[in-house]
Amino acid sequence: MKKHTSIELFTGAGGLALGLEKSGWHHLALIEKNEHACSTIHLNESLDHPLAKDWRLYPDDVRTIKYPKIAKYVDMVSGGPPCQPFSLGGKHRAHNDHRDMFSEAVRAVRELKPKCFLFENVKGLLRQSFATYFNYIILQLTYPMIVQRNNEDWTSHLTRLERRHTGKSTNELTYKVVYRLLNASNYGVPQNRHRVFMVGFRSDLGKEWSFPESTHSLDRLLWDQWVDGSYWDEHRVAKKNRPEIPRRYKKGVEQLSSDFFSMPPSGQRYRTVRDAINDLPDPKQKQNTIANHEFRSGARPYPGHTGSVLDEPAKALKAGDHGVPGGENMISFPDGTYRYFTVRESARIQTFPDDYVFSGSWTEAMRQIGNAVPVKLAEIVGDSIRKQMM
């Protein structure tokens, strides 16, 4: 399989980078300034991880990077600009937040002129209150050569971009850009995690592309659990130990039983927390030698933070703006007990490989994982883009 080249900005702990490597992309450079995330990447490089051993990490602020010194040409630019400006945890200040780095993503595209790009962010980017600013981001990516002038505010820059967009075509560098809000659980990730993906292809290439179709569904999970019971059989849960149908799903299960006339919904079922972690040992066991699988005590539910149900996709793991929010990083067991996810369990939820290890304390490792793109989702989108480049 031919390796297409890429440069990734805002790499974090490497979720997007790992997925793209698995799908056939080769990173010429990774750029990340957070010292803890850099430690994780260096650790996996030193351990000769098959996907990370050849990575070249630039532990710098992306604003200082001179791209011609890194590579003269790449097929793709990728990355996840900091999401705090658009997330609820980050006070959703958008362009008023100094952490808004989309202009740097645009600069990388302008200077490297790749065949395509892939950027992702939190679903908060699509909030109604950000609609104008999101349109500004898309137009910048469409016309990266129209640079914001000194002392020009973003709304004036937006006006020039709009005029260009509605005007005559020229021979300057432009991109065909599409975006979509994807839920990772629809692609086999055991987590309800929504991310906005923005993909652009250089206009002169004449490429036609669309986002990959969903492969997994909640309806199929409900069928396997509550209509034919194959889910419980697979996990060897005796009938007497199976929980009751959750109230919110009862009507759906009744409809599935009648509408499909004993035929299951097409596609694969959502993967659950149990699917993801069932073969891991109890982290309390003394003989546990799994990397990053240490037990952490103190988990307790509170209003609005009741953990992830064992037999459903996990809630979205979160990094938090000021520490790790415990409620989103707990398991809720059928017997009414709770405990924190271990780092390894969280990595499973985000579909990181088991041999990819995380540096730092539980809090810091969980922050890195909570900031990451699910590896499997990145792989699926990356593979679809790569095939279009062939």
Give the residue carrying structure tokens 């990772």: 184
Token reading at 358: 């995380």
pTM: 0.93
C-alpha pair distances (Å), 321 with each of 29, 40, 284, 333, 365: 27, 20, 29, 27, 14
Token reading at 146: 């129209």
The b/e string for 201-230 (b: 16+ C-beta within 10 A; e otherwise) is: bbeeeeeebebbeeebbbbbbbbbbbbeee
Give the residue carrying structure tokens 């080249």: 5
C-alpha pair distances (Å), 341 with each of 14, 83, 375: 20, 23, 18
* Residues in a beta bridge with 332: 309, 338
pLDDT 10s digits, 29-76? 999 999 999 999 999 999 999 999 999 999 999 999 999 899 989 999
Residues of the chain with pLDDT under 50: 85-99, 322-323
Torsion of CA 324, 338, 218, 260, to 10 degrees: -170
- Given a contact cutoff of 8 angstroms between Cβ atoms, the answer to whether 334 and 356 are in contact is no
Show which residues are catalytic.
83
Cα separation, 329 vs 325, in Å, equals 7
What pLDDT, on a 0 to 100 scale, did the predictor assign at position 327?
A: 63
- Given a contact cutoff of 8 angstroms between Cβ atoms, the answer to whether 374 and 190 are in contact is no
Question: In this structure, what are the phi and psi dihedrals at residue 381, rounded to the nearest 5 degrees?
Answer: -65, -45
Cα separation, 156 vs 143, in Å, equals 15
Cα separation, 144 vs 214, in Å, equals 31
pLDDT 10s digits, 83-108? 554 444 444 444 444 447 899 999 99
What pLDDT, on a 0 to 100 scale, did the predictor assign at position 260?
A: 56
**Which helix (H) or strand (E) is 24 found in, with range?**
none
What pLDDT, on a 0 to 100 scale, did the predictor assign at position 287?
A: 80
Cα separation, 317 vs 371, in Å, equals 8
What pLDDT, on a 0 to 100 scale, did the predictor assign at position 274?
A: 98
C-alpha pair distances (Å), 92 with each of 53, 87, 99, 158: 36, 5, 11, 20
